[in-house]
Structure 1
Amino acid sequence: MHCIAFGEAGMIEVWREIAVAAPLACLVAVLADAFALPRGRMSLPLRSPGGTVVLVLAAMLVYALALILTGAPVVSGVVVAALFGAFALISNIKRRVLGEPLVFTDFALIGAVFQQPQFYLTALRPVQVVVLAGGVAGLFIILAALSNLDLAARLAGLGLGLIAGGGIAAALRHIDFSASNDVPDPDHDVMRHGLVPCLLAHWYAWRHTADPEPCQLPPIAGASRQLVVIVQCESFTDPAVLLGDPVLLLPGLEAARRGAFQHGRLMVSGFGAYTMRTEFGVLFGRGEDMLGTRRFDPFLTARGEASHALPNRLDRSVWTSWFVHPHDMRFYGRDRLMPEAGFDRLVGEDAFDPPAPGEGRYVTDAAVADRIINLAEQDSAGASLIYAVTIENHGPWPPGDADAAHSAAPYLKLLGRSDAMLARLMDALPGIGRPTILCFFGDHRPSIPGASEPGTERHTPYVLIRYSADGTPMPGSAAECDLTPAELHHAILDAICLGRAE
């Protein structure tokens, strides 16, 4: 490190360096953002004028912050180039794997990346992990080696930062981004305005989204000693539909469809991830058309919507509610959110034995089925709601081969265990002697290169089965009925009310 004298000559020299480095940094930022997918028909399309203004201001703000930190105008330009290039690279990788560019709520998961790295790093190729890790390490080394104690540069950075920050705030207030649409579309918005402008515009709209009015509907009592079991199954889908091969029909799923009160396709929005979007819809009954930019990660604001949650919609003087998930409940903040949503008891990973050798990385679906049946069999004078989230069928899955069925073989093996869980619940729950509703659905399709990749078709199956107290399946409609996760929430409530009326 070295110190540059603070004075008029020093200030002039600093501004000369800034006058060269800052515009170049902004130009590199614009070029890097132009490579963020999706792009227009041109190889380097210009984004909207408003998006370009926000992008340049954002680059200037980053440049100013780096200048305050390092005191080095040229190094600060390198920081801007590296950061905006990394945003475009990460967004493109994510879009290839999950079918969606980077969204602002992804930054809320940075802590989870360190808590559960296997959830995220397995989506990258080894060379990509090395490049990203090396880039971050190299950037810190450069910053440490080339920083100085120049006060003039830091004062200049402070001035630039105030101007750029004020300009971004004004632009976000007055430029017409499409973030205010009922269902914001990241692909459309990135192609039109650019990646970084959309991250900022969506975040700005999110900050100004108000909580809904508290639910004023009367609580639901349901039938005497009614049992409701809802299973949100990790990466569960119909392999016959996914791979286009009727031979792959799942026997448990087919039996459930034949005996279902209602079944069909669950029209989930996520692919390969974003469990919380489906989970929020089913638990809170609020569709993505109501959420605006909250739809990207509705759990971040779900505490303000807790009165709409399924357990809170039930008469809590009659119902006891369990939330079962054999994983760290701090993930997505479930440990704090679920009690506010009305769950009386949480059953987390500490309630399960670790997977035995050969059982895989996660607690098995068979163990979750055991726990559900145990809770359902407990003597209870009241009604019971059990909401379970499985995890055994979580990836990673190996890269694809030319043969899609071979590529998906590890996934299909785990999918068979999830189907066996469904069959076991269908066998055990009718014999408990309580009027029962069983709802089973997949949270999203898997992302398996070569076999299951992002596309327009993202639906998963759901089944809603009703049993009388003597275990007899209660008939419903034989026709398929497509539902969103929020509509499934209301279908479950309707089924509970039917039990009360019968």
Structure 2
Amino acid sequence: MADKLLIYLALLIGTLLLDAFVRPRSGRLGEPWLRSPAGTWLHSGLVTAVFGLFLTLCANAPASAALTLALVALFTTVSNAKRAMLGEALVFSDLALIGAVFRHPQFYLSALKPSQKLAIVVVALVAPALLWWMFVPELAGHIQGLLLLTAGIGAIWLSLRCPPWSRLATEPDAEADLARHGLIATLLLYRARWRQTDDPVPLAPIAGVADPHELAVIIQCESFADPAELFGDPALALPGLALAREDAWQWGNLLVGGFGAYTMRTEYGVLFGRNEDDLSFRRFDPFLTALGEATYALPNRLAGWRSVFVHPHDMRFYNREVIMRAGGFADLVGEDRFDPPSAGEGRYVTDAAMADAIADLAHAADEPTLLYAVTIENHGPWEAEAGNRPDDLKQGYLRLVRNSDAMLTKLMTELAGLRRPATLVFFGDHRPSIPGVSVPGGARHTPYVIVRIDAEGRCVRREGERTDLTPAQLHHAILGLLTNAPED
């Protein structure tokens, strides 16, 4: 028993040392490694529970401690890698995406170095084998593990409901809270606050359609940013974006909340119109609670409109197949409606194919119709034709963002040719994260344009209408234009 206690204490010290390497660290003078006592308590409670779980399974204290330490090391590695690439440490909602990591690893593992990927693979293979090899058929050891597991979970459950823990992290400030309390404590605190957040009061649809032939096309373009601004080179300006701004009813910067990822945050803001302050702890992955806010979705607000959601990817990703139907979309056009990309076209359905599909849907629409499309061709990581230097990756991005720009140009032409009132909204979901070229820490905004076309195919302009908006504000701007109603 004494040996197990020493192993347990050594494990706690080891995991606290690992947590000290999680960025951001405390910035207090003379205390660069210390977390708060309250955070250290929550950290210790979870480590106790995990150690108890492994001990319950194998009754081997050294093996259980090694596995627990490896798990904390894994969280440390992933969090630091994510922060280096996206400017944000691991958050509790990321754990909901574990299944997606295995279905679509290319979206996530690009943030890790080869050595880090190898370490994860080794841990995944060694952990089950270690449990089996070190299994001890000793009932007392298994019972001790179960007691530790119960004690750890009980301590966390009770602590989160009592002062001082119940007064911690009442408003989302992930950077400050992680630096103050540590990674594991912040994950626990934020999940608890998230679960305490209630659904908002339901909204009613807005009656009335401006024109029975009205058409609205909203394009959420993957990693679309203005390269002239992104790379500080006016020669890289996109002709389609420039033309759209010249003909726009309104244009400006879209003040997205994330960098390099988290498409669903921007998507949710534009579709559901809920800003980050209103979402509170739901802001980190608003799709997790979207079904409780379905009346806020743009299709549900637009009485008398038929709405179609287009995305050439697995609709199970982010649970879109359920969320979009609950949000009022009558039809979902997914990956099964597109041919796979040909050799040399990249990994994903091209923006050119998306433009063709959207144009076909627009031509076929015989009633007021909203088409909301999410593109994917320009998803990272970006491949260079030769070499792997930052500039080579930049050229790979430029090739794809020009394809997106060509899609914008084509859609403007196609909608003008329909000779029916139409509104085209085009925006980037976030900036690209390109190592050595486009990195977190600076500006995050992307471009957006709103182009209005009359029944004669002419663009309707307003003078001086550059306006910077959040995704939620863009939602309300669109809603006001399509219903002639005041913006919420």
- Normalised by the length of structure 1, the TM-score is 0.92
CA distance in 2 between counterparts of 1:260 and 1:97 reads 34
Aligned residues: 481
Map of 1:156 onto structure 2? 144
CA distance in 2 between counterparts of 1:276 and 1:296 reads 9
1:407 and 2:397 equivalent?
A: no
Kindly provide the CA deviation profile for residues 61-102 of structure 1, in whole angstroms up to 9, marking residues without a partner as x: 111111111101222111221111111111001111111100
Q: Is the 8 Å Cα contact of residues 223 and 496 (structure 1) preserved in structure 2?
A: no
Map of 2:181 onto structure 1? 193
Q: What letter is aligned with 2:56?
A: I
Map of 1:335 onto structure 2? 321
Return closer, same or farther for 1:44/1:134 CA change in 2, 3 Å cut-off: farther
Q: What letter is aligned with 2:287?
A: F
1:436 and 2:406 equivalent?
A: no
1:49 to 29, 32, 37: 37
Secondary structure, counterpart of 1:359 in structure 2: coil
Secondary structure, counterpart of 1:191 in structure 2: helix
CA distance in 1 between counterparts of 2:245 and 2:451 reads 9
Q: Is the 8 Å Cα contact of residues 179 and 293 (structure 1) preserved in structure 2?
A: no
2:377 to 376, 392, 397: 392
Q: Is the 8 Å Cα contact of residues 435 and 499 (structure 1) preserved in structure 2?
A: no
Map of 2:337 onto structure 1? 351
Equivalences for residues 256-335 of structure 1 within 5 A: 256-315=244-303, 318-335=304-321
Map of 2:356 onto structure 1? 370
2:459 to 469, 473, 477: 473
Secondary structure, counterpart of 1:294 in structure 2: helix
Q: Is the 8 Å Cα contact of residues 254 and 445 (structure 2) preserved in structure 1?
A: yes
Q: Is the 8 Å Cα contact of residues 200 and 293 (structure 2) preserved in structure 1?
A: yes
Map of 2:114 onto structure 1? 126
Kindly provide the CA deviation profile for residues 107-132 of structure 1, in whole angstroms up to 9, marking residues without a partner as x: 11111111111112223222221121
1:76 and 2:64 equivalent?
A: yes
CA distance in 1 between counterparts of 2:463 and 2:389 reads 38
Return closer, same or farther for 1:143/1:402 CA change in 2, 3 Å cut-off: closer
Map of 1:27 onto structure 2? 13
CA distance in 1 between counterparts of 2:208 and 2:282 reads 28
CA distance in 1 between counterparts of 2:37 and 2:328 reads 47
Map of 2:153 onto structure 1? 165
State the superposition RMSD in angstroms. 1.9
Alpha-carbon shift at residue 366 of structure 1 (Å): 0.7
Q: Is the 8 Å Cα contact of residues 68 and 157 (structure 1) preserved in structure 2?
A: yes
CA distance in 1 between counterparts of 2:209 and 2:45 reads 55
Map of 1:244 onto structure 2? 232
Consecutive unaligned residues in structure 1, runs of 5 or more: 1-14
Alpha-carbon shift at residue 434 of structure 1 (Å): 1.3
CA distance in 1 between counterparts of 2:389 and 2:465 reads 34
Return closer, same or farther for 1:394/1:25 CA change in 2, 3 Å cut-off: same
Q: Is the 8 Å Cα contact of residues 309 and 342 (structure 1) preserved in structure 2?
A: yes
Alignment identity in percent? Answer: 49
Alpha-carbon shift at residue 43 of structure 1 (Å): 8.0
Equivalences for residues 111-122 of structure 1 within 5 A: 111-122=99-110
CA distance in 2 between counterparts of 1:192 and 1:473 reads 53
Q: What letter is aligned with 2:443?
A: E
CA distance in 2 between counterparts of 1:139 and 1:499 reads 59
CA distance in 2 between counterparts of 1:477 and 1:88 reads 51
CA distance in 1 between counterparts of 2:369 and 2:141 reads 65
Q: What letter is aligned with 2:249?
A: F
Q: Is the 8 Å Cα contact of residues 64 and 160 (structure 1) preserved in structure 2?
A: yes
Map of 1:423 onto structure 2? 409
Map of 2:169 onto structure 1? 179
Kindly provide the CA deviation profile for residues 214-235 of structure 1, in whole angstroms up to 9, marking residues without a partner as x: 1135334332211000000000
Kindly provide the CA deviation profile for residues 307-337 of structure 1, in whole angstroms up to 9, marking residues without a partner as x: 000000011xx31111000111111111111
Kindly provide the CA deviation profile for residues 356-383 of structure 1, in whole angstroms up to 9, marking residues without a partner as x: 1211111110111111111111151x20
Alpha-carbon shift at residue 138 of structure 1 (Å): 2.0
CA distance in 1 between counterparts of 2:285 and 2:197 reads 13
Q: Is the 8 Å Cα contact of residues 86 and 433 (structure 2) preserved in structure 1?
A: yes
Return closer, same or farther for 1:220/1:48 CA change in 2, 3 Å cut-off: farther
CA distance in 2 between counterparts of 1:205 and 1:221 reads 40
CA distance in 2 between counterparts of 1:241 and 1:453 reads 14
CA distance in 2 between counterparts of 1:361 and 1:398 reads 10
Map of 2:135 onto structure 1? 147
Map of 2:434 onto structure 1? 448
Q: What letter is aligned with 1:201?
A: L
CA distance in 1 between counterparts of 2:85 and 2:31 reads 22
Q: Is the 8 Å Cα contact of residues 205 and 300 (structure 2) preserved in structure 1?
A: no
CA distance in 2 between counterparts of 1:220 and 1:212 reads 24
Secondary structure, counterpart of 1:113 in structure 2: helix
CA distance in 2 between counterparts of 1:198 and 1:320 reads 43
Alpha-carbon shift at residue 271 of structure 1 (Å): 1.1
- Normalised by the length of structure 2, the TM-score is 0.95
CA distance in 2 between counterparts of 1:64 and 1:499 reads 58
